[in-house]
């Protein structure tokens, strides 16, 4: 089991670009919402209930295989900076930014599987894999779920399926999210039309780190809206299929852009690289835009001195919580932009990460 | 004696930043306008007269020391691309862009001294030195002048001094030009005021390569307007003194800028370096602006991976005539901006030039 510090020393494994279609899909996340029978949902439960939930969940995790030797983080009032980092690494949702009783996170090797305790639900199990992997990620989190269920009694209705704190999760409790880099569709002004048709297929789309990451960098999260009335396999398959169609459109857009504006694009992506490796002040917005250009340059074969994993890693390691951690204190906005630039230069100089 | 090709392989020695105050002053040029007694000025002379002038001047040069083993270029109709390069290296004036009978240029080692034959006057002798060197450059060109005069009979009036084609050169026939990088005064918006007072002192100011090089890069040429009624020593001394005052004001402006905006300036100059070493398309205007930032970054100690000589060299080697020569043909504007970017990357990668 590694420590929190060791975990932070490298980007999450789901950013390592080892998975299929990594040129367009950064990662696939599948999470299951689960609650314990006979205990109120976290919003309505008292501290002692929540602490009991936590202890039972931790016990179940250690009794199994997938999280037996995992990193356990107790996320109490003192853990404020940790909480921000957990959100930035997609290990917990944004509601975890505030403190709450009985909260904990269990994180497996490479952040591949994890369990969040007492967030919106008693238990959120997740698997994040590199590339486009809805079925594989679902299979893995399913095995974790089955394993934990041997020691936990889930709230389940034969009519509704798994019961959850928010009605939108009832049924399978499953959310499949695919993190995509749709830079070609954004640049060719086709993104609005494409995303419009996605929502008609029952999928939702958000920016990776809020709206700006979408507008500036073309980083989108595509996920299912429905959790009820479909099997988990169907949900995973639907997301995989739709994401696959997006991939085709994206690759088509990129190839057209490169064909039409080869020299201009080659120039632009190299400039992005030049600024990333040279600038001393880089805002979060600019980083997102430059990182997008850098990824584009790598996938289109213009840039070979940086690999995709390094470019992906920057998206997480340059977030405010991470920078605060590296700096050992809250740097404030001005210094933060300088630390971000320093970190980017270091990461790009250390070059090719596995 | 080196060939024209060998000469082009390195920047002129006056860009090597070896002279005094090279952080602000790139170079000092002193030229003398001379005409031969009894021959009409070039504008009014026939081809045979001009060819005779050329032959006499070449003979006088080979008989002396300073230009005895120099490169002699006959600049006839066929030498069009050469003519542009000569203008870009400040060896001839812009009127040399057109062809004319009897034209030739004699260029000494490192382009330190030179003689232009049948430009506006029969003979223009010049010395260009690195840094702020009016007196030294004048002394050297004076020795060349004296040497040539042993074999040439100059048009001279005891009332007026040396007679020249244009009345503004009559008297000493001397023009002292100091090429300055006034980036601090431009950035702190004090340049207009400062240059206004310069013109009251009887000096004129122009951009290094036209107005844009001044506005975009802060590259100015400061020179005397009067050639009559003052000795050569006085002219050289006046320009040296005024340029020295400009240097003080410039250094003051730079130090204030760096004090006030340290991090921002550090960021900006490194970005300029990043773009210069990465971009694939760079226009002449952008090059001038980036090169100015690069020089500023070097002189203020922010950038140590490039030396001033390399930064200076880019100002000349990236001019259109030079790029055409390197490309072996006229590349046209689009390709020219790509060749310029390629050349800049190569020059900066080859790094520190002596």
DSSP string, B183-200: HHHHHTT-HHHHHHHHHH
> Looking at the DSSP assignment, which residues form a beta bridge with residue A205?
A222
Model pTM score: 0.89
Cβ distance of B274 and A277 shorter than 8 Å: yes
Pairwise CA distance, residues B303 & A102, whole Å: 52
Please choose, from the candidates B295, B299, B301, B261, the residue with its C-alpha nearest in 3D space to the C-alpha of residue B276: B295
B276 CB neighbours in chain A (<8 A) are: 274
How many beta-carbon contacts under 8 Å exist across A and B? 52
pLDDT tens-digit map of B1-25: 688 888 888 889 999 999 999 999 9
Which pLDDT does position B352 carry in this prediction?
A: 46
What's the whole-number mean pLDDT along residues A75-103?
Answer: 85
Per-residue pLDDT of chain B (354 residues; tens, 9 = 90+): 688 888 888 889 999 999 999 999 999 999 999 999 999 999 899 999 999 999 999 999 999 999 998 999 988 877 778 889 999 999 988 887 777 889 999 999 889 999 999 999 999 999 999 999 999 999 999 999 999 999 999 999 999 999 999 888 889 999 999 999 999 999 999 999 998 888 888 899 988 777 777 778 999 999 998 888 889 999 999 999 999 999 999 999 999 999 998 899 999 999 999 999 999 999 999 999 999 999 999 999 999 999 999 999 999 999 999 999 888 888 888 899 999 999 999 999 886 443
Please choose, from the candidates B271, B319, B279, B316, the residue with its C-alpha nearest in 3D space to the C-alpha of residue B296: B271
SS3 A71: strand
pLDDT tens-digit map of B295-312: 999 999 999 999 999 999
Which pLDDT does position A354 carry in this prediction?
A: 36
B279 CB neighbours in chain A (<8 A) are: 267, 270-271, 274
* Phi and psi at residue A143, to the nearest 5°: -65, -40
Q: Is B25 left (phi over 0), alpha (psi -120 to 50) or beta?
A: beta
Question: What are the tokens at A234?
Answer: 């169907």
B275 CB neighbours in chain A (<8 A) are: 271, 274-275, 278
Helix (H) or strand (E) holding A68: none
Q: Is the pLDDT of residue A1 over 70?
A: no
Which pLDDT does position A269 carry in this prediction?
A: 97
Is B189 buried (19+), middle (13-18) or exposed (0-12) by CB count in 10 A? exposed
Question: What are the tokens at B253?
Answer: 């402006």
Q: Judge whether A273 and A307 are in contact, CB under 8 Å.
A: no
Q: Judge whether A269 and A300 are in contact, CB under 8 Å.
A: yes
- The number of residues making up chain A comes to 354
Average pLDDT over chain A, rounded to an integer: 92
What's the whole-number mean pLDDT along residues A195-199?
Answer: 87
Which pLDDT does position B1 carry in this prediction?
A: 62
Pairwise CA distance, residues B149 & B35, whole Å: 11
Contacts of B318 (CB under 8 A, 6+ apart): B282, B284, B287, B340, B343, B344
Contacts of A301 (CB under 8 A, 6+ apart): none
From A78-87, A109-118, B16-25, B215-224, the region with the lowest mean pLDDT: A78-87
Q: Given A264, A273, A341, which is nearest B278 (Cβ)?
A: A273
Which pLDDT does position B329 carry in this prediction?
A: 84
Which pLDDT does position A2 carry in this prediction?
A: 80
Percentage, residues of chain A above pLDDT 70: 98
Q: Select from B266, B268, B271 the residue whose CB has the most chain A CBs within 10 Å, as the one to mutate to test that interface.
A: B271
Q: Is the pLDDT of residue A152 over 70?
A: yes
B281 CB neighbours in chain A (<8 A) are: 263-264, 267
Q: Select from A261, A268, A269, A274 the residue whose CB has the most chain B CBs within 10 Å, as the one to mutate to test that interface.
A: A274
Give DSSP secondary structure letters for A154-186: B-EETTTEE--SSGGGTBT-EEEEEEEE-HHHH
Radius of gyration (C-alpha) of chain A in whole angstroms:
20
pLDDT tens-digit map of B82-126: 889 999 999 988 887 777 889 999 999 889 999 999 999 999 999
* Phi and psi at residue A114, to the nearest 5°: -155, 160
Residues of chain A with a CB closer than 8 angstroms to some CB in chain B: 263-264, 266-267, 270-271, 273-281, 334, 338, 341
pLDDT tens-digit map of A272-309: 999 999 999 999 999 999 999 999 999 999 999 999 99
Which pLDDT does position A140 carry in this prediction?
A: 97
Helix (H) or strand (E) holding A139: helix A134-149
The ipTM of this complex is 0.86
Cβ distance of B280 and A266 shorter than 8 Å: yes
* Phi and psi at residue B129, to the nearest 5°: -120, 155
Cβ distance of A278 and B270 shorter than 8 Å: yes
Q: Given A271, A274, A279, which is nearest B267 (Cβ)?
A: A279
- Find, in chain B, the residue whose alpha carbon is nearest to that of A273: B278
Q: Judge whether A144 and A66 are in contact, CB under 8 Å.
A: yes
- Find, in chain A, the residue whose alpha carbon is nearest to that of B267: A280
Cβ distance of B281 and A273 shorter than 8 Å: no
């Amino acid at each position: 089991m590694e420590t929190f510090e060791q975990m932070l020393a490298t980007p999450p494994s789901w950013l390592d670009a080892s998975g299929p279609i990594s040129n367009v899909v950064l990662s696939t996340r599948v999470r299951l919402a689960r609650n314990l029978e006979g205990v109120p949902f976290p919003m309505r439960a008292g501290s002692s209930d929540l602490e009991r939930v936590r202890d039972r969940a931790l016990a179940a995790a250690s009794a199994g295989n997938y999280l037996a030797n995992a990193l356990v983080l107790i996320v109490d009032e003192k853990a404020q900076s940790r909480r921000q980092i957990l959100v930035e690494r997609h290990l917990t949702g944004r509601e975890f930014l505030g403190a709450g009783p009985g909260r904990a996170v269990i994180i497996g090797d490479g952040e591949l599987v994890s369990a969040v305790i007492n967030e919106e639900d008693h238990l959120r199990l997740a698997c994040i894999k590199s590339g486009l992997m809805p079925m594989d990620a679902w299979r893995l989190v399913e095995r974790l779920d089955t394993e934990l269920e041997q020691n936990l009694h889930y709230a389940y209705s034969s009519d509704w399926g798994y019961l959850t704190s928010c009605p939108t999760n009832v049924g399978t409790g499953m959310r499949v999210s695919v993190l995509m880099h749709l830079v070609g569709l954004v640049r060719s002004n086709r993104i609005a039309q494409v995303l419009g048709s996605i929502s008609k297929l029952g999928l939702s789309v958000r920016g990776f780190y809020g709206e700006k990451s979408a507008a500036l960098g073309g980083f989108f999260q595509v996920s299912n809206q429905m959790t009820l009335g479909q099997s988990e396999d169907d949900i995973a398959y639907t997301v995989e299929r739709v994401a696959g169609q997006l991939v085709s459109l994206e690759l088509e857009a990129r190839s057209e852009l490169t064909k039409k504006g080869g020299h201009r694009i080659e120039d632009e992506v190299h400039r992005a690289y030049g600024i990333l490796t040279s600038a001393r002040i880089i805002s979060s917005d600019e980083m997102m835009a430059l990182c997008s250009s850098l990824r584009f340059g790598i996938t289109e074969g213009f840039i070979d001195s940086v690999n995709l994993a390094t470019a992906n890693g920057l998206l997480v390691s340059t977030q405010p919580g991470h920078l605060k951690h590296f700096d050992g204190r809250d740097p404030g906005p001005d210094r933060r932009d300088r630390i971000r630039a320093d970190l980017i230069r270091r990461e790009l100089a250390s070059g090719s990460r596995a």
